[in-house]
Amino acid sequence: MIVTSAVRHAAAGSAALLFVLPVPAAVASPAGPVPRAVSSVGEPTPPARRHVDPARLGRKGTQVQRLAGAPEMPSVSALSWVVADASTGEVLAARNAHRRLPPASTLKTLFALTALPHHGPSERHTVADAELEGIGAGSSLVGVKEGYTYKVSDLWNGVFLSSGNDAVHVLAEMNGGWESMTRQMQEKARSLGAEDTHVVSPDGYDAPGQVSSAYDLAVFGRAGLQDPAFARYCSTSYADFPAGSWSYGIANTNRLLTGADGVERYPGLLGIKNGYTSNAGNTLVSAARRGDRTLVVSVMNPQEGGGFAVYEEARSLLDWGFEAAGRVEPVGSLAPVRAKAAADPGTRTVSVAREKPAAAAAPGRAAGAGAEAVAPQAARSTVAEAEGPSAGLPLALVASACAAALALWGWRRRTARRA
């Protein structure tokens, strides 16, 4: 009877402990599926593959593949244009995407991608006379003077806001000289998969043989959004430019950004770069964010509507792109077609054209902010698993209860014998 009672008490106590103790899995696991970013094995699954005819963007005329409910394409007079998703690189629609045309100052996007990483924004440089030689007649200028000392950030404001060819010449000299800069830009273009661009004058000034395309300009704009410094400069509306002991204000000539000259500002515009020469006409690379989607649009040489038509045509293409998102099949990609090398035989090889890059950087934000945002969540999940009760704890408590019951039974038995 004593044994039966002891075992019964031990079993009851063990059952009570199992009911009272929380279930380990429910505490350790966060609600919903664990984010893939928490896993350190393998790599995130890229967006689903969709068949895209690689030759389609090389065809003449408008290329678009509308699905049910997709809006009609707007009327655009530009000789060439592209609308693309800045995150995936998918081209939503285009017209004469690879037609080679003079780019004007939109070529400064490639100049910035090439030269920006080489000098910090706070670095100071005193301009020499020779650095301002060779600037083309009629060039746009910010007002750089020989003998004056400027921060690198001042010079880049001169490039992006005033489209200053004088600032470009100085920065080019700081990066190896005019000819070296030309070669570096050409190499950078090829590394990005931009095959239509031929660089002759790094500032975009009209020069025989200098061409680019709406496709290549969209590639440069997309790459620029992933560079925090580029994104910051191209989205700056106004800045002070030093002139010795004083300074003067400069405004961005991208009217979609500033709303100047009667051009309405575009909501969510991230800027980038506009250009004009008598040979190229008006050119523009624009990017805008709406919700969680960022689009990049390039427009080259509108044939109707006057000098500001490039802004209105870019506006209509951005509006169309946001409305059409998810309702069109891509007709191409801005990503270079090459395979990423596998780390080992077991690692999946993913086409760069199908990889989803880091989210486009917001003005003044690093492109890696998305990764930083995931890290605390991963840390919280790890901490929760470490602090939650382990699966062995209930079993240990049950064993302890049984051992206590048996000890009690032994003590009672010895007491009975003595009596």
DSSP-assigned letter for residue 390:
P
Q: Which residues pair with 62 in a beta bridge?
A: 95
Q: Residues with Cβ < 8 Å from 190, sequence gap 6 or more?
A: none
Token pair of 163, please?
A: 């489209």
Q: Which of 105, 201, 235, 333 is catalytic?
A: 105
In whole angstroms, what is the distance from residue 75 CA to residue 312 CA?
Answer: 11
Name every residue whose Cβ is closer than 8 Å to that of residue 365 and which is 6 or more positions away in sequence. Answer: 228, 231
Question: 297 pairs with which residues across the strands?
Answer: 83, 286
| C-alpha angle 246-163-320 in degrees, rounded to nearest 5 | 130
How far apart, in Å, are the Cα atoms of 96 and each of 240, 297, 353, 398?
A: 39, 14, 21, 76
Out of 87, 108, 140, 235, pick the active-site residue. Answer: 108
Cα(305)–Cα(102) distance, integer angstroms? 20
- Are the C-beta atoms of residues 72 and 314 closer than 8 Å to each other? no
Catalytic residue at 105? yes
Q: For residue 10, give every residue at least 6 positions away whose Cβ sits within 8 Å of its Cβ, in sequence order, or none.
A: 401, 402, 404, 405, 406
* β-strands 269-277, 281-290 pairing: antiparallel
Residue 141 exposed, middle or buried by CB count within 10 Å (0-12, 13-18, 19+): middle
Q: Are 185 and 110 contacting, i.e. CB atoms less than 8 angstroms apart?
A: yes
What is each CA distance from 92 to 49, 70, 76, in whole angstroms?
15, 11, 15
Residues 6+ apart with CB under 8 A from 36: 44, 45
Amino acid, single-letter form, for residue 362: A
Q: Which of 234, 163, 233 lies closest to 204 in space, CA to CA? A: 163
Q: Which of 163, 201, 286, 298 is catalytic?
A: 163
Q: How far apart are the first and last CA of the chain?
A: 17
> What does the alpha-carbon distance between residue 327 and residue 4 come to, in Å, rounded to a whole number?
73
**Distance, CA of 327 to CA of 310 (rounded, Å):** 25
- Asked if residues 226 and 367 have their Cβ atoms less than 8 Å apart, the reply is yes
- Phi, psi for residue 381 in degrees, rounded to 5: -65, -40
For the annotated catalytic residues, the residue numbers are 105, 108, 163
